[in-house]
Amino acid sequence: ATHKLSLMAGDGIGPEVIAEVTKLVRWIEARGLASFAIEEDLVGGAAYDDHGEAISDAAMERALASDAVMFGSVGGPKWDAVPYSKRPEAGLLRLRKDLGLFANLRPAICYPALADASSLKRELVDGLDLLIVRELTGGVYFGEPKEVVTLENGDKRAVDTQLYTTPEIDRIARVAFELAKLRGKKVASAEKRNVMKTGVLWHEVVSRIQKESYPDIQLEHVLADNCAMQLVRRPKQYDVIVTDNLFGDILSDVAAMLTGSLGMLPSASLGAEDPATGKRKAMYEPVHGSAPDIAGRGVANPIATIASFGMALKYSLGLSDLADSLDGAIADVLASGLRTADVATRGQNAVGTSEMGDAVIAA
């Protein structure tokens, strides 16, 4: 099968890091390991400069028709004065909305060679490989009412509403269990059912889905505050953690700091399954932004983006073996001592974006 890949490099270091994915795709094709049909589109400030919108309808159509979107990064000081609806971020927001990306996947992988860069002791994180599955389109960030009201006595009252429905919990739970099948066969579900009704419902629905559809996946329920504590106490106990929008925001940032630099962190967002094909809409992107401070110099770390492509291979394209060899190659390159400037320690000679990409391919 030919895999339809939509490349949206964006602004700043986006094109520099996406170029390394293009190289990797060409290498995979040259080896006859898989074949790709690639569409390249502008997004963000680059698209605005070209045609006045952060993403065109045609680019959006191509993203919708793809098996996976590889996104670089958008934004930068050049577009600070652009009207809100046309700002670079609007391109990213439209992609998320139109692709219906309700599941955000943030892995925390600790490459042994970088274990000393972690906020934790080496032995706690060496070999860590966990995945946080965060619900992205519901919960307290979107629930209504959401307002600040001035009371008669002049005091103010602010309200946010944490709200989840059974279908919303059902679909995110299924994503987590499906991913666990491709990984360590266990899921931890984090909520606060001790004080929140949404937590009670979350617990009930996740338990039911596991019993009905995923009896072979081990399920553990953990209170979200305890989960935060466990992440810094003994993170390797987890494989997949599924949680809501707010707890996921916090827990994924905690997990990120277990593994070091922004330049190393990949992510994915998944949408609904197409009933006809069984495929999910999906977008893969580094966690970092467009890094205007280093853009154009060829020094950005491409590993976050290359590892995001690895997630695409595994979770969207059915190429798990290739994904595993890619992960192995990244670990080997780091073990050999090669570093980009962001992760190099004092006295180490740093390599550039392209050399790092080449080294991963060679490995």
Q: Judged by CB under 6 A, does residue 292 bind ligand NAI?
A: yes
Residue nearest to ligand NAI (CB): 289
CB of 158 to Mg ion, least distance (A): 20
Q: Judged by CB under 6 A, does residue 250 bind ligand NAI?
A: no
Residue 144 has what DSSP assignment? E
Among 290, 313, 316, 333, binds ligand NAI (CB under 6 A): 290
Could you confirm whether 253 is annotated as catalytic?
Answer: yes
Question: Rounded to whole angstroms, what are the CA distances from 157 to 150, 161, 196?
Answer: 6, 13, 20
Among 291, 311, 329, 360, binds ligand NAI (CB under 6 A): 291
Residues 4, 37: contact at Cβ < 8 Å?
yes
Q: Which stretch binds ligand NAI (CB under 6 A): 59-67, 115-123, 230-238, 296-304?
A: 296-304
Q: Which stretch binds ligand NAI (CB under 6 A): 57-65, 125-133, 179-187, 297-305?
A: 297-305
Nearer to ligand NAI, 162 or 340 (CB): 340
Q: Judged by CB under 5 A, does residue 135 bind Mg ion?
A: no
Task: Give the active site residue among 49, 50, 116, 253.
Answer: 253
CB of 324 to ligand NAI, least distance (A): 23
Question: Rounded to whole angstroms, what are the CA distances from 76 to 5, 60, 316?
Answer: 25, 22, 30
Q: Which helix (H) or strand (E) holds 143?
A: strand 143-150
Task: Give the active site residue among 225, 236, 279, 332.
Answer: 225
d(CA 74, CA 78): 11
173 to 232, contacts with Mg ion by CB under 5 A? Answer: none
Q: Tokens at residue 136, please?
A: 């992205």
d(CA 132, CA 231): 11
Residues 36, 70: contact at Cβ < 8 Å?
no
Q: Which stretch binds ligand NAI (CB under 6 A): 57-65, 194-202, 283-291, 309-317?
A: 283-291
Among 11, 20, 191, 249, binds Mg ion (CB under 5 A): 249
Nearer to ligand NAI, 96 or 280 (CB): 96
Residues 179, 320: contact at Cβ < 8 Å?
no
Q: Where are the alpha helices (DSSP H) in the chain?
A: 14-30, 45-51, 57-65, 88-98, 122-125, 166-181, 197-213, 224-233, 245-256, 303-315, 320-335, 353-362
Q: Tokens at residue 29, please?
A: 């094709």
Interface positions with ligand NAI (CB under 6 A): 13, 73-76, 92, 262-263, 285, 288-294, 300-301, 304, 342
Chain contacts with Mg ion (rule: CB under 5 A):
249, 253
| Catalytic positions | 141, 192, 225, 249, 253
